[in-house]
Amino acid sequence: MSFDIAALELATQRWREAAAALDAARTDLEAVVAQALREDGGEAEAAVAEVTGWSRERMREAVAAVDEREGHA
Average pLDDT, the chain: 95
Q: With cut-offs at 50, 70 and 90, classify the pLDDT of residue 58.
A: very high
Work out how many domains the chain is built from and give that number.
Answer: 1
Is residue 2 a part of any domain in this protein? no
Is residue 49 a part of any domain in this protein? yes
Q: With cut-offs at 50, 70 and 90, classify the pLDDT of residue 2.
A: confident
Domain with 30, as residue range(s), is 22-73
| pTM of the shown model | 0.83
| Helical spans, DSSP H, in 1-73 | 5-52, 56-69
Is residue 28 a part of any domain in this protein? yes
pLDDT digits (tens, 9 = 90+) for 7-42: 999 999 999 999 999 999 999 999 999 999 999 988
3-state secondary structure of 55: coil
Is residue 48 a part of any domain in this protein? yes
Is residue 10 a part of any domain in this protein? no
